[in-house]
Structure 1
Amino acid sequence: MIGSLRFRLIDLARGTHTVSLLATLRRNQYQSRQALAVSENQQLNSYFNDLRKTVPLFSQVARFEDLPVLDKRFINAHRDQLINASYQGKRVRKKTGGSTGEPLVYFTGIEAQSYLWAGLLLSWEAAGYRLGEKVAFLAGSSLFGTGYKQRLYYRLLNVTVMNAFDLSEQRLRDYAAQLGKGGFRLLYGYASAIHRMARLHLDAGQTLPNRLRGVVCTAETLTPAMRADIEQAFGVPCFSQYGCHDAGVSAFECEQRDGFHLISSRCHAEVLDDGRLVATDVTNRAMFMPRYDTGDLVQMSGRSCACGRGLPLIDKVIGRQNDIVTDPAGAVVHSELFTHMFREDGRIQAFQIVFDEQELRVNLHGAQLDQAALAGLEQQYRGRIEHSLRFPRLIFELNAPFVTLPNSKHRFVIRRSATATPATTP
């Protein structure tokens, strides 16, 4: 009751209806796939009809599937034309961090904001969270805001922010101590930051005392090795959550942890022939962004999950479209090449590929690695990389600081020209 009251106060302050919507999502997630599909189709038709009535740019488009696929550049250039002038509710200005190379400024409404939080809470509940329990955020600026209002919201949410901009060994130990005595029931944040905390303790032969029910990783790829390390260190199940809020995408792993359940009452999803996820937030009527190219590559599944949920299932989030490595001769490979190459090598706990026109750097991390081991790894993997890619310089390095994006996200593959004065973490 206290937890529900906390969120009702937030709803009252924001004008949202997260609590009632969460109750609806809890029920509807177990509807049949057919029933959910009928509901989604009705929402999409309503969205498309409103779009044609209020956006002259698309008034003559006969079918939804005839709409062009929109990217960030198009939306930024046509923002005023895409805003729904007939929308009477509160508009919330949003700006993406630009991790794909170009920030996006857009507006969203109360319904979409309600879905954002209700979807997040639903994903937490699959990890054992109960409404109002203490949550720790270990993340950067893409997951939490700043300012007086944000701090007040976090207090009502019962959330403690642990800033991932500082991941020094001492700070991570401080965070771990805070987790151990703070009564937290859920840890939520960047996969790389949580994994770094886990490895710090595992390498010291330690586990982390806590009262957590589960760990939920988001914003970055969670590899099987990372999940195993996190579960060993914290002693609780580790889940992955996938979202792209500008496109209305909210998907989560259930208790089976065998794919991501997509909340289809918010998002109409399409997968193009090249694997790109194109999504439409049908709950955002403040500004229309139909068929928005998320830049993410995914694999959808037609199978049913053993949990009984009827929500569409994403088998795998492969990565971002710009997780592509191109050498000077034009040869192209996806970052999955490196993930598959290194994932079975127990000596390699983490890696990063940084490249430009002149060189490709392979940064390998492992507590047991030394220069002699690095030489062996280079001998083992150099030929496999050069079979697919040719750079003037191919450099292997050991435990070098990772290059990160300004919002502290970790990327396995980074094109140096797109990093824009990156930060580094040891």
Structure 2
Amino acid sequence: MTVTTARPPEYDPSLLALLRFRLIDLVRGTNTLQLLGRLRQQQYESPNTLRTRTEAALTRYHDELRKNVPMFANTQSFSDLPVTDKQFINAHRGELCNPQYKGKLIRKKTGGSTGQPLVYYTSTDTQSYLWAGLLLSWEAAGYRLGEPVAFLSGSSLSSSGNKQRIYYALLNVKVFSAFDMSAASMAQYAAAIGENGYRLLYGYASAVHRLACHLNSTGTRIQHRLRGIVCTAEMLSVAMRKDIEQAFGVPCYSQYGCNEAGVSAFECEHKQGLHLLSMRCYAEVLEDNRLIATDLVNEAMYMPRHDTGDMVRMAEQPCQCGRGLPLIAEVLGRQNDVVVDSHGNGVHSEFFSHLFREDNCIERFQVVFDERTLTINLHGSNLDARHTETHCALYRERIVASLTFDELRFVFNEPFVTQANSKHRFIIRRPPR
């Protein structure tokens, strides 16, 4: 294969855009803007140079890990460390925190693809890499720093509150809720995208696809200024990409991340795979294709060899774009459903993750639905039917505001519905009766 070194055309951000992002960095204590400039250059280094960079960072990480975490003090090599998962991290959170870290501690909580919450901590450097990697993926889709962006997402991509509203205003981002995907709401989203000059649409793959299908099925063609679309959080299938590009008439790209493991990867213009930012994480792919990754820049908390819960296949050949980053050919095992009622109203599955994630009584959950019934199975040692109906009243109110089912049931500590591959899925759609 012929590998080219053609790079996307360079541009000079406006002074206003630079001032906005510098203000964000100043308030948050991050260095996203400076790091983005460095990543733009490093992504085109040779595979050998990037590999050497990652190996040096891994050696430093393991040395610090052995020094600061007693349970790992006697590990002779990084490969001797056990594979960690959410259960391990939740059980050993205090031991995994770095006692030498004196910077700002940022608490994170995620539901993830198994419906089991994970609480962990990151540093400002981690946040800088998170946003710099995201901006780099947007730039591959045609975005230019400071341009208006439409988010179709839930609170894992966006948050509420006055501080967040100011932050997204500085980013020039407008959030549209993937937790409300009714026909009326999608018509409003389409109109806003057409009228407000957004240059990029970014959001959950299934939510963007649902919006695209709405446009295609209604024959709606909106006049817009989008340069590209970036989908995240789930696998973007060939059929989904085709529907999205048909609806909007611009290229659609995939972006993949697992923040607790330091994973950030994106498609370039060739769409031959996902370029993995190896400057941030050390990635291992086991024989069963499980992606195990370590965030090398998180100084606040150590989560070595973290099981992302995803299965991937790495590319054997480099991409034609000339980037030397490792290339994920395919993410094999990441797909969530949109929960849809019989009236066509829908919410993204992350709606439930964020609905339950701050409730310490709920340890795990599963949502099972068909055209008539929505059943929510909550697991927790302190949950039982005698005192939880009142407990769930607020959840019921929030759900019925977005979805209409003949029956909405809460059950407690009942066996989860399993799939043929025995992997737990926290959202399951039953076939029509």
- TM-score range for the pair, normalised by the shorter chain length: 0.7 to 0.9
Counterpart of 1:257 in structure 2 is 271
- Take 1:131 and 1:240, find their aligned partners in 2: how far apart are those partners? 19
Shift of 1:317: 0.4
Alpha-carbon displacement from aligned partner over 1:77-108 (angstroms, at most 9, x marks no partner): 10000000001111100001244121100000
Quick check: 1:70 aligned with 2:14? no
Alpha-carbon displacement from aligned partner over 1:326-348 (angstroms, at most 9, x marks no partner): xxxxxxxxx9xxxxxxxxxxxxx
Q: Pick from 299, 317, 323: which aligns with 2:313?
A: 299
Quick check: 1:18 aligned with 2:55? no
Counterpart of 1:316 in structure 2 is 330
TM-score between both structures, scaled by the size of structure 1: 0.78
- Take 2:184 and 2:345, find their aligned partners in 1: how far apart are those partners? 16
Shift of 1:197: 1.3
Quick check: 1:407 aligned with 2:351? yes
Alpha-carbon displacement from aligned partner over 1:106-125 (angstroms, at most 9, x marks no partner): 00001111000000000000
User: What is the DSSP-based 3-state SS (H/G/I as helix, E as strand, rest coil) of the residue aligned with 2:134?
Assistant: helix
Runs of 4 or more consecutive aligned structure 1 residues displaced over 4 Å after TM superposition:
398-404, 417-426
CA contact (8 A) 2:36 2:136 kept: yes
Counterpart of 1:271 in structure 2 is 285
Quick check: 1:282 aligned with 2:226? no
C-alpha change, 1:255 and 1:148, in structure 2 (3 Å) is same
Matches within 5 A, 1:106-185: 106-185=120-199
Shift of 1:403: 7.8
C-alpha change, 1:71 and 1:264, in structure 2 (3 Å) is same
User: What is the DSSP-based 3-state SS (H/G/I as helix, E as strand, rest coil) of the residue aligned with 2:301?
Assistant: coil
The aligned amino acid for 1:294 is T
The aligned amino acid for 2:320 is A
- Take 2:351 and 2:271, find their aligned partners in 1: how far apart are those partners? 27
The aligned amino acid for 2:204 is Y
Quick check: 1:192 aligned with 2:206? yes
- Take 1:98 and 1:300, find their aligned partners in 2: how far apart are those partners? 22
Shift of 1:145: 1.1
Shift of 1:5: 1.4
- Take 2:187 and 2:124, find their aligned partners in 1: how far apart are those partners? 39
Q: Pick from 26, 33, 36: which aligns with 2:50?
A: 36
Shift of 1:302: 2.6
The aligned amino acid for 1:142 is S
C-alpha change, 1:254 and 1:408, in structure 2 (3 Å) is farther
Alpha-carbon displacement from aligned partner over 1:204-251 (angstroms, at most 9, x marks no partner): 222221100100000112111111111111111000100001111000
The aligned amino acid for 1:196 is R
Which structure 1 segments of 5+ residues have no match? 324-334, 336-350, 355-362, 366-397
C-alpha change, 1:196 and 1:425, in structure 2 (3 Å) is farther
Counterpart of 1:245 in structure 2 is 259
The aligned amino acid for 1:170 is A
The aligned amino acid for 1:146 is S
CA contact (8 A) 2:178 2:348 kept: no
Percent identity over the alignment? 57
CA contact (8 A) 1:165 1:408 kept: no
C-alpha change, 1:419 and 1:314, in structure 2 (3 Å) is farther
Alpha-carbon displacement from aligned partner over 1:254-298 (angstroms, at most 9, x marks no partner): 000110000000010001111111000000010000000010011
- Take 1:116 and 1:149, find their aligned partners in 2: how far apart are those partners? 19
- Take 1:419 and 1:303, find their aligned partners in 2: how far apart are those partners? 45
CA contact (8 A) 1:216 1:241 kept: yes
CA contact (8 A) 2:181 2:345 kept: no
TM-score between both structures, scaled by the size of structure 2: 0.77
CA contact (8 A) 2:30 2:127 kept: yes
C-alpha change, 1:425 and 1:214, in structure 2 (3 Å) is farther
The aligned amino acid for 2:351 is N
- Take 1:26 and 1:245, find their aligned partners in 2: how far apart are those partners? 20
User: What is the DSSP-based 3-state SS (H/G/I as helix, E as strand, rest coil) of the residue aligned with 2:260?
Assistant: helix
C-alpha change, 1:402 and 1:175, in structure 2 (3 Å) is closer
User: What is the DSSP-based 3-state SS (H/G/I as helix, E as strand, rest coil) of the residue aligned with 2:351?
Assistant: coil
The aligned amino acid for 1:57 is M
Alpha-carbon displacement from aligned partner over 1:359-379 (angstroms, at most 9, x marks no partner): xxxx9x9xxxxxxxxxxxxxx
Counterpart of 2:119 in structure 1 is 105
Alpha-carbon displacement from aligned partner over 1:352-407 (angstroms, at most 9, x marks no partner): 8x9xxxxxxxx9x9xxxxxxxxxxxxxxxxxxxxxxxxxxxxxxxx9977685352
C-alpha change, 1:400 and 1:210, in structure 2 (3 Å) is closer
Matches within 5 A, 1:327-342: none
The aligned amino acid for 1:271 is V
The aligned amino acid for 1:65 is S
Deviates more, 1:197-206 or 1:2-11: 197-206
C-alpha change, 1:404 and 1:419, in structure 2 (3 Å) is farther
- Take 2:171 and 2:165, find their aligned partners in 1: how far apart are those partners? 10
- Take 1:66 and 1:175, find their aligned partners in 2: how far apart are those partners? 50
